[in-house]
């Protein structure tokens, strides 16, 4: 027990030093003078950056402890600690992808509600005011932002510009279709209800195609995840069953180089599979 404590304490101290060095680097590299326009465009991203920093540190500690549990070597655990950045990035991307999928699911229903309100005699602004409170987050937040920008704008193209700005700020490019429809309506005075109805049908067809492609590529994603965990799981099992068998891997230079090589190949393989799936889906994950 004492030997285990003596091995774990240097690991914890090293992790603490790594976290302190990372925080110091972030503090030094962050510019002090930020233009007011850039600060306004950032729009409260400081909280997101702080959350990502905490998530990175926690992930680094978790990856290092997992590596120590598999290998039993402090230096290999420290080498794996930077992998926490990739783990945190993957978690953030997964969260963003889930939010984007929810927005895409709610978007056609929001447009259908707008079309119904306008068909009942409301103007686009009145329909926007009427529909926004009935929506669910996160689409309600997006439409509320559009409404706020329209109210504070003095441009003759207030609707189109507001929707385009929100599409960029929210990271939801599908909203550009609404901006195009509203811009066409403002310039030509066409029938916006028919345009929205046609847009809703196109969005439902696109969502159906996206689900089909996601189902087709699901096998590749599951295979990549399984093959990524397999080498390290086998290392842990072999070390638990027969430690002497795995001793050359964890206690020699060539064995350590092999472990590092396996980790790099796993990262490279995941990047390749992710790129293949992204191209298949058409630039969307």
pLDDT tens for each residue of 92-129: 888 888 899 899 999 999 999 999 999 888 888 899 99
CB 145 within 8 A of CB 169: yes
pTM: 0.70
Instruction: Work out how many domains the chain is built from and give that number.
Output: 2
> CA–CA separation, 186 vs 180, rounded Å?
10
Pick the range with the lowest mean pLDDT from 159-173, 193-207, 238-252: 238-252
Look at residue 261 and tell me if it is in a domain. no
Last residue of a domain, one of 81, 112, 135: 81
Give every CB contact of residue 245 below 8 A, 6+ residues apart in sequence. 238
Verify that 107 and 201 share a domain, yes or no.
yes
Statement to judge: residues 75 and 106 lie in one domain: no
Q: Which two tokens stand for residue 176?
A: 């550009």
Tell me the C-alpha to C-alpha distance, in Å, between residue 181 and each of 42, 100, 109, 185, 202: 28, 21, 16, 6, 13
Helix (H) or strand (E) holding 209: helix 192-241
Q: Which range marks the domain in which residue 110 is found?
A: 101-207
**Residues 77 and 8 reside in one and the same domain:** yes
Q: Which has the higher per-residue pLDDT, 207 or 21?
A: 207
Query: Which pLDDT score, from 0 to 100, does residue 93 have?
Result: 85
39 lies in some domain: yes
For residues 36 and 5, membership in a common domain is answered with: yes
In this predicted structure, the answer to whether residue 283 has a pLDDT above a threshold of 80 is no
Mean pLDDT of the chain: 79
Q: Both 56 and 107 in a single domain?
A: no
The answer to whether residues 95 and 183 touch, using CB atoms and an 8 Å cutoff, is no
Interatomic CA distance for residues 198 and 176, integer angstroms: 15
Q: What are phi and psi of 68, to 5 degrees?
A: -65, -35
Asked if 233 contacts 71 with a C-beta cutoff of 8 angstroms, the reply is no
Domain shared by 27 and 61, yes or no? yes
Residue that terminates a domain, selected from 12, 46, 81: 81
For residues 124 and 203, state if they share a domain. yes
Confidence of residue 42 (pLDDT cuts 50, 70, 90): very low
- Asked if the model's pLDDT at residue 145 lies above 60, the reply is yes
Higher pLDDT, 111 or 57: 111
Same domain for 142 and 174?
yes
Residue 82 per-residue DSSP state: T
Q: Are residues 123 and 163 in the same domain?
A: yes
CA nearest to 144, candidates 156, 135, 155, 157: 135
Query: Within 13 Å, how many C-alpha atoms sit on residue 131's CB side?
Result: 27
What's the sign of the alpha-carbon dihedral 234, 239, 245, 246? positive
Domain end call among 31, 51, 81 = 81
One domain, residues 62 and 109: no
Does pLDDT of 12 surpass 70? no
pLDDT of residue 21: 61
Q: Determine, yes or no, domain membership for 212.
A: no
When pLDDT is cut at 50, 70 and 90, the band that residue 41 belongs to is very low
Q: 70 and 10 in one domain?
A: yes
The answer to whether position 243 is within a domain reads: no
Tens-place pLDDT, residues 212-262: 887 877 887 788 888 888 888 888 888 888 888 888 888 888 888 888 888
Handedness of CA 251, 13, 54, 24 (dihedral sign): negative
Confirm if 163 and 150 have CB atoms less than 8 A apart: no
Tell me the three state secondary structure of residue 8: helix
């Amino acid at each position: 027990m004492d030997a285990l404590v003596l091995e774990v304490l240097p690991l914890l101290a090293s992790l603490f030093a790594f976290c302190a060095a990372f925080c110091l680097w972030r503090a030094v590299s962050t510019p002090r003078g930020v233009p007011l326009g850039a600060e306004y465009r950032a729009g409260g991203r400081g909280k997101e950056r702080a959350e990502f920093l905490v998530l990175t540190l926690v992930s680094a500690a978790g990856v290092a402890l997992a590596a120590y549990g598999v290998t039993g070597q402090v230096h290999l655990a420290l080498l794996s600690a930077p992998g926490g950045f990739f783990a945190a990035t993957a978690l953030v991307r997964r969260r963003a992808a889930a939010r984007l999928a929810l927005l895409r699911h709610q978007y056609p229903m929001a447009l259908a509600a707008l079309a119904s309100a306008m068909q009942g005699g409301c103007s686009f602004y009145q329909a926007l005011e009427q529909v926004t409170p009935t929506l669910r987050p996160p689409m309600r937040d997006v439409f509320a932002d559009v409404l706020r920008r329209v109210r504070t704008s003095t441009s003759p193209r207030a609707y189109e510009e507001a929707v385009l700005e929100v599409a960029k700020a929210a990271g939801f490019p599908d909203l550009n279709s609404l901006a195009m429809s509203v811009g066409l309506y403002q310039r030509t005075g066409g029938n916006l209800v028919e345009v929205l109805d046609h847009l809703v049908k196109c969005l439902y067809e696109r969502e159906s195609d996206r689900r089909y492609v996601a189902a087709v590529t699901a096998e590749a994603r599951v295979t990549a995840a399984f093959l990524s965990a397999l080498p390290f799981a086998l290392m842990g099992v072999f070390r638990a069953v027969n430690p002497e068998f795995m001793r050359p891997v964890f206690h020699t230079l060539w064995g350590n180089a092999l472990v590092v090589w396996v980790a790099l190949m796993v990262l490279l393989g995941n990047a390749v599979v992710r790129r293949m799936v992204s191209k298949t889906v058409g630039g969307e994950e």
